[in-house]
Structure 1
Amino acid sequence: MALKLLITAAAFISLAAAPTMALDAPKGEVILTIKGSDLANPNAGETAQFDLAMLEALAGRSGKMETPWTKGEIEFSGPFLRTVLEAAGAKGTTLNVKALNDYVAVVPMEDAATIDTILATRMNGELMSIRDKGPLFLIYPFDTDSSLYNEKYFSRSVWQIKEIEVTQ
């Protein structure tokens, strides 16, 4: 237990202590806005905005998995949530992940720091439309960690994401 707490604390500190770097302004349509009182790399006033090209340029992963919202095994791909937050210079303890319909899920920053969560931009290699849960879908790595396949993480798996607010 102590080792897990140490790893969790180290991951949180490394995410919070990400080096400051300039974040370019989006050239295409903004599909994600990150806001919070302590963003180190805003590119639009006090927010960090991302277009699809910016998000897909960040480190991420793809994984084939079953989810409660899809039929059969589906491949999801996109940037790691932590790399998106690092690009924005986000610091905090809680993420309020907001969908296009204003649904909000509260996600601990620890999920971004210690779990390979992704902001999926693609499903089976195709861009995700709003009709298909896009443009962004918070996906937990159900394919590599079956212990995540439960209601706790299902409730945090927001689709049609438009905004993430980082709070202390």
Structure 2
Amino acid sequence: MGDQEMRLLFPVAGLAVMAMARLAMADSDVILTTTVNDVTRSFTLEELQALPVERFETITIWTEGPQSFEGVPLAAMLDDLGVTEGTVSAQAINDYAVDIPIDEITETTPIIAYHQNGASMSRRDKGPLWIVYPYDSKPEFQSEAIYSRSIWQMDRLSVK
């Protein structure tokens, strides 16, 4: 290959690298993947924020002092996915998984929190997503079963 061919090849290679970088960035924007009846959907933070929003303040056993949370009610997510029965399986980045019976989900609880105290949550701070209940609003939210369902670093939901 001569010098002229090499000079023509570099810009083309540069465009290919830029296109691959854009695709990788688009994939990295996905923070939640759902699977229902073998149909998989991916959600970015912006797509989650376009769904109904619930906000509350609560005290958790994992943090100090009152914390404010904002996110999508799990019921609204299931409605968006067309789910009316079964069990939700939530999985974390480290593959930890919990099951939440759909008949124990209310219109407003739990939420898939994407903001804590007004800010996005990093992986180090239990993010990007955390299933949260308003723990101090009802005694039934202060049980081992509810605490075990409060999965952080969640990135996958499926319905069984």
Q: TM-score, normalised by structure 1?
A: 0.74
Q: 1:70 aligns with which of 63, 72, 80?
A: 63
Aligned to 2:72: 79
Cα–Cα, structure 1 residues 89 and 135, in superposed 2: closer, same or farther, change >3 Å?
same
Residue matched to 1:32: 32
Structure 1 CA distance for aligned equivalents of residues 92 and 135 of structure 2: 21
Q: Which has the greater radius of gyration?
A: 2
After TM superposition, the score normalised by the length of structure 2 is 0.77
The offset of 1:91, in angstroms, is 4.2
Larger CA deviation: 116-125 vs 105-114: 105-114
Q: Does 1:135 align with 2:102?
A: no
Contact 2:113 2:132 in 1 (8 A): yes
Structure 1 residue 27, shift from structure 2 partner: 9.2
Displaced runs of 4+ in structure 1, greater than 3 A? none
Please name the residue that 1:48 is paired with: 41
- In structure 1, runs of 5+ residues without a counterpart are 1-25, 39-45
Question: Is 1:60 matched up with 2:47?
Answer: no
The answer to whether the 8 Å contact 1:31/1:162 transfers is yes
Residues 102-136 of structure 1 deviation map (CA, whole Å, 9 limit, x = unaligned): 00011111233456210000000000111110110
Instruction: Say if 1:111 and 1:117, in contact at 8 Å, map to a contact too.
Output: no
How far did residue 93 of structure 1 move?
1.1
Give the 3 Å change call, closer, same or farther, for CA 132–153 of structure 1 in structure 2: same
Kept in 1, the 8 Å contact 2:113–2:131? The answer is yes
Q: Within 1, Cα distance between the matches of 2:32 and 2:105?
A: 16
State the match for 1:10 in structure 2: none
Q: Distance in 1 between matches of 2:30 and 2:83?
A: 18
Q: How far apart are the structure 2 equivalents of 1:109 and 1:115?
A: 13
Contact 2:57-2:134 at 8 Å conserved across structures: no
* SS of corresponding position for 2:124: helix
The offset of 1:94, in angstroms, is 0.5
Does 1:151 find its partner at 2:144?
yes
- 8 Å contact 1:141–1:148 — kept in the other structure? yes
Q: Could you tell me how far apart the structure 2 residues matched to 1:112 and 1:163 are?
A: 17
More helix by share: 2
Q: 1:90 aligns with which of 74, 83, 88?
A: 83
- Compared with structure 1, are the counterparts of its residues 28 and 57 closer, same or farther at alpha carbon in structure 2 (3 Å cutoff)? farther
